[in-house]
Amino acid sequence: MSNKMWGGRFAASPDAIMEEINASIGFDQRLAAQDIAGSKAHAAMLAKQGIVSKSDAAEMRRGLDLVLKEIAAGRLAFSRALEDIHMNVESRLRELIGEPAGRLHTARSRNDQIATDMRLHLRETVDHLDGQLAALQKALAEKALEHAATVMPGFTHLQAAQPVTFGHHCLAYVEMLGRDRGRFADARRRLNESPLGAAALAGTPYPIDRDMTAKELGFDRPMRNSLDAVSARDFVAEVLAAAAICATHLSRLAEEIVLWCTAQFQFVTLTDKFTTGSSIMPQKRNPDAAELVRAKPGRIIGALTALLVVLKGLPLAYSKDMQEDKEPAFDALDNLSLALAAMTGMVHDMRPNADVLRKAAAKGYTTATDLADWLVRELGLPFREAHHVTGRLVSLAEGKGGDLSELTLAEMQAVHRKITAGVFKVLTVDASVAARKSFGGTAPANVRREARRWLKLLDRG
């Protein structure tokens, strides 16, 4: 027997393997609410335009509400033979209201249906992710305010470079996440156009009102080209690209947390809430949550790559290949949401070890640049000459096995005779960070101001 929903031309049922590869209900059932919302808007428009009777449209909407309740309650058994969420909803609607259900598909296609469903779903998902990103930003900004003056080493090449503050380090990620939110907002703005009414690919001869359905579904406007409306999946790719960049930012912070928790660093402590033990080594406290967040970009970047490879050779308009956009997108965005939740929890949970951070900040001659700047500022040396003098002093201190601040004035003057005792004022990590008052610098006053600014912005939404 052919498929009763579309099989007028077909005399036999699909082969079992055809059904297996063709069916998408296993994953697109999560679009049920969006599919039914689109159908209700479409039914209302059909009635307004006189394409179906008002009584039929009212029955459609009543039946669709019943279907949604059944799905929400887990009472609707989805059928693989009906392929997808659209056919499953329509089939159940026919069982509930009879003949009027057959008129619902007038002036539309599954092609514009699924494009509409995905845009609605991604719009909701982006809004949810934005809220999670804001929560993580707030957790980091609160930590920044608390630790605005907690000195730690700043690194380049993973080598101690200059002292910064822990709060300043946290605010760097607040900025990154702010750009992530901007990327998602841009993607949301572009995807918020309605494909509904484009039908299969060419539009429809029925006198439909696409502005009405677009408005009903919260879209900014209907899409202007029917071919583009059903074949575009760049909106999915753009959301996944934003997700991939965001996941990369989370991974960088996760990697730092993994390093900071080691016995070699001991920069921060995570409690039992976000660590695990070993089955054989009783002393272990493993930062598994951070490690798993670090791993998530692999599948999220993979989802973006998979979609782009699917799309790269497709002619217009719709091809069944496009069915492959959903599982990677669902998986990637679910995992990004999980990673954001885990990272927010870890940020709240982690406790910087201030004494360890301060001692680490003083190692590696991190105030060498402050010494060079002092030579420029106080003695008028060209920076390149000051750099050379400082290098000789670092080499001298290193040979003695001590810090720059442990050199005597006489030892310094042996390298450059004009150095005065005033130099020792700049050779502490506190003096170093306090001096960095330039816009965007690590001075504690800057960090407090920026943290409060971010918290105010985030509280305002």
Which residues carry out catalysis? 157, 278
CA 87 to CA 270: how far, in whole Å? 49
Cα–Cα nearest to 176, from 133, 132, 233, 208: 133
| Burial degree of 129 (CB within 10 A; 0-12, 13-18, 19+) | buried
CA 198 to CA 113: how far, in whole Å? 9
Residue 300 structure tokens: 């999220």
CA 154 to CA 166: how far, in whole Å? 9
Count Cα atoms within 13 angstroms, Cβ side, for 252. 13
Buried b (16+ CB within 10 A) or exposed e, 264-301: ebebbebeeebbeeeeeeeeebebebbeebbebbebbb
Q: At what angle are helices 444-460 and 110-146 packed, to 10 degrees?
A: 140
- Within 366-443, residue ranges assigned H as helices are 368-379, 383-400, 409-415, 429-435
**Number of H-type helices and E-type strands within the chain:** 18, 6
**Given the DSSP bridges, would you call strands 351-352 and 151-156 parallel, antiparallel or unpaired?**
unpaired
The answer to whether residues 173 and 249 touch, using CB atoms and an 8 Å cutoff, is: yes
